[in-house]
Chains A and B, each alone.
Chain A
């Protein structure tokens, strides 16, 4: 556990566990993320990284443990409520709204609807959205402002990945959880993404990054957790993690093959 000032803790899980039937996908995980941090979460395939994000964002039920976000327990909240509190995520498989343009994808995520909206919309549809500024900012962060009016199906895989990140950003989250944003990107694209993500810190966005691209994670994150078989096996700064014997045996040793296999399956979609 890194020593930290409690008032600066944005997300803290204690003893977080998720089981599927008999399988312990996430087991007793304690993670804490400071405001303004850029935290990495790595681990081999099936380590439970996606399940951990699912648990934090409310997509799978937690079987044990607590999640405190921004000073409040959020374990019982629905996913959309957590998102509106400032906890947004991207998905490992691309889950853009295929029926909406890029702009509408982002607006849908940025807007904070009130129940009166439906009545106003019925008679006054042209009202300017209050969220355009956020959307423009999010598109700017990933450098994709020119794709506004396109449909997701018209974009390349790399562009779609960036739009997914932008959609999560458009809600102006306090904490952004990215599940393998660089999967399926080539090295240059991945590097460009890293730089863009790094810039987020300047915008008061805290990030938890899950990725197989070790180069990306080691270069942008300032603190890293390593997950294996559902449990945290190491944590620390990139330099510490790089040299941790546990990590080397459990993950980095086999990393080259695994990352290769994973990339192939991702880009084969």
Chain B
């Protein structure tokens, strides 16, 4: 009987996934955007609701506007809900008109980046406005009744049933709306072709605005009602987008009922797996339930993909022109010399900034190779870095490998995992690949980084201080100022070498084949280039760079923690690299400077105490602007004239 109980309890999570999936479908139908920030938008609305209920203040999500507007003393649930639905409607309309309407003809990557920018912005603004968690953390009772409903041996809180009913009714209304209202018909026409809607006498703008409003209200409303079930928290709630997208995929981002059914199925399967883990002791105690979404995504995508795109599908992702990188090795050596010289004189804050910037440069190079040069959007960079970091500690602790061997072995494991992540890339491309790699990243986080053997159990994973030929390369030592200068120099050298290797490859025959595949896979195959080999080898190099960054992060932190390698980090890395210039090694250097805790943060901190706390929110906005205005990235703008002879 308890098997059934957990299945029914899973209705709650399932309803949330189904509703978020529906929102993804609605926005996709209206504007051909898979909005990675969809769950984050709903999350903001839910935070605002619980804050409004507790304090009577409406919290506004826009930097520059007043943070709080006192509205009522003690709003009732109904008033608060209604006010937050208004807020949701406004957010939906503004986000569509300001961001996604201008991007309607833009390349897939620009749209992905814009939604990542929005994602980053929303998480940052929740942090700024609600001080971490705010009232949402305290609220345990939502608007729905949650007393136990007893049905024979089946005892399940009432809110599960309510939520299920509400989501099913909303889905029904939506499908009726699409079928029988003029606006609904126009939306279906827009999905086919924008002129279709104009023929029906409705402007595509109106169609977009209305659908975005519906989607945002749906996400906000569901997360308010499900607040006690999903437990609101920026990191996990915003990532509900992964199962939501998984739910929308089998119906090709178009079918309402396939999405709803898949959503419920994912939620119920997750709940059941949680229960089975407590019953069958041989099941590992890791986040198996998060793997459900991955399985759905992979099945939906890979079974459908083709090894080469067919004649009709438009060629490749449009990306900024790749700079020829001829002078990069000299710049790298120059930067190395300047960096080493600076290391000898600057204070500890700046030394930390140099370390973080060097490591972030290597991460960004990993993105430049795979996305900038080969055109494959991968959102799993930090998952791969984390695999290297944890593996290194295992090799050192369990086998006793010494310094250069343990990190090298860790990087090799990262390369192997990178090849697994690359497999979907052989069959799917563009947006679908972004989704597949995102699902992989979540799975690695949940499966590997929660596996106590892999992460060192209670003791955690502590790195041994590296030393080579008698030189102590560690980040700290008794009697030395932290961080030690030799460690700073080691990270600088690693970054400079990575820069040189990547730019050398770009300039040689390997780089030609990378860019050939990026421009046109069919033509590349016709020219005798093995697209499969190019993708796999580029993923290998990209993973090796991510792994190198991972082991350096581990040595820097000395204690390896899964929180350094979360999905959020990967999303930020891709987004900031895009902003800085995704097809240029020097763009990677700029991305390193812009990274959180990097040189820019240190500089901002030295100006004023609070400046750097706005860094994320501002970079989110910059990303959105960049995606719309400068698809070539900052470095791209500067060198666009120079690279063409």
Contact = CB atoms under 8 A, between A and B. Distances in A.
Contact of B519 (A98, A111, A167): A98
A88 B501 contact: no
A165 B552 CA distance: 48
Interface stretch (B227-235, B449-457, B507-515): B507-515
Output the residue of B508, B509, B522, B525 with the most chain A CB within 10 A.
B509
B526 interface: yes
Given A59-B522, A97-B519, A99-B519, A88 B507 contact: no
Given A80-B530, A84-B528, A97-B524, A113 B509 contact: yes
Given A91-B522, A100-B515, A109 B504 contact: no
Contacts of A154: 644
B528 A122 contact: no
A38 B527 CA distance: 21
Contacts of A83: 525-528
A78 B525 contact: yes
Interface of B: 307-308, 311, 315, 319, 321-322, 501, 504-505, 507-513, 515-516, 518-520, 522-533, 537, 541, 644-645
Nearest to A105: B516
Contact of A112 (B319, B508, B525, B528): B528
A104 interface: yes
A137 interface: no
A115 B540 CA distance: 13
Contacts of B504: 121-125
B322 A99 contact: yes
A151 interface: yes
The 9 closest A-B pairs by CB, nearest first: A109-B527, A83-B528, A121-B508, A95-B523, A125-B504, A79-B525, A97-B519, A125-B508, A108-B512
Contact of A108 (B308, B522, B527, B530): B527
Contacts of A54: 311
Interface of A: 50, 54, 57-59, 78-81, 83-84, 88-89, 91, 93, 95-100, 104-105, 107-109, 111-113, 115, 117-118, 121-125, 127, 129, 149-151, 154, 167-168, 171
Output the residue of B322, B508, B512, B644 with the most chain A CB within 10 A.
B512
Contacts of B525: 58-59, 78-80, 83
Contact of A79 (B509, B513, B516, B526): B526
Contact of A109 (B311, B528, B537): B528
A108 B529 CA distance: 8
A81 B527 CA distance: 10
Given A95-B520, A99-B519, A100-B519, A123 B501 contact: yes
Nearest to A112: B528
A151 B324 CA distance: 13
A122 B501 contact: yes
A129 B510 CA distance: 12
B526 A108 contact: no
A98 B315 CA distance: 10
Contacts of B533: 115
A122 B2 CA distance: 59
17 contacts: A59-B526, A79-B526, A80-B527, A80-B528, A80-B529, A83-B527, A88-B527, A89-B526, A95-B520, A97-B515, A97-B516, A97-B523, A109-B529, A112-B528, A118-B510, A121-B511, A127-B508
Contacts of A117: 508-510
Contacts of A122: 501, 504-505, 510
Contacts of B515: 97, 99-100, 104, 108
What does DSSP make chain B's interface, helix, strand, loop or mixed?
A: helix
Nearest to A92: B311
Given A80-B531, A81-B530, A88-B528, 12 more contacts: A59-B311, A80-B526, A83-B526, A99-B515, A100-B516, A107-B512, A108-B529, A111-B512, A113-B509, A118-B510, A122-B510, A127-B508
Contacts of A112: 528
Nearest to A79: B525
Given A91-B526, A149-B645, A129 B520 contact: no
A50 B530 CA distance: 22
Contacts, number: 125
Contacts of A168: 526-527
Given A113-B513, A118-B510, A127-B508, A99 B526 contact: no
A212 B599 CA distance: 62
Given A99-B321, A108-B516, A121 B527 contact: no
B321 to A, nearest CB: 6
Nearest to A86: B528
Contacts of B308: 59, 79
A84 B519 CA distance: 20
B528 A99 contact: no
A62 B508 CA distance: 36
Nearest to B525: A79
Nearest to B513: A108
Contacts of A95: 315, 520, 522-523, 526
Contacts of B512: 100, 104, 107-108, 111
Contacts of A84: 528
B510 A171 contact: no
A127 B322 CA distance: 21
Given A83-B525, A91-B522, A100-B516, A121 B531 contact: no
Contact of A107 (B321, B509, B518, B526): B509
Output the residue of B509, B512, B528 with the most chain A CB within 10 A.
B528
A266 to B, nearest CB: 15
Contacts of B531: 80
Contacts of A80: 524-531
A166 to B, nearest CB: 12
A125 B511 CA distance: 10
Contact of A167 (B527, B530, B537): B527
A108 to B, nearest CB: 4
Nearest to B583: A99
B330 to A, nearest CB: 13
A118 B523 contact: no
Contacts of B527: 80, 83, 88, 108-109, 167-168, 171
B519 A118 contact: no
Nearest to A98: B519
A41 to B, nearest CB: 17
A127 B504 CA distance: 11
A152 to B, nearest CB: 9
Contacts of B311: 50, 54, 59, 93
A118 B505 contact: yes
Given A108-B516, A122-B501, A123-B501, A171 B523 contact: no
A93 B433 CA distance: 26
Contacts of A151: 644
Nearest to A97: B519
A155 B516 CA distance: 18
Nearest to A101: B645
B528 A171 contact: yes
B526 A57 contact: yes
Contacts of B523: 91, 95-97
Contacts of A171: 527-528
Nearest to A82: B528
A80 B523 CA distance: 10
A121 B524 contact: no
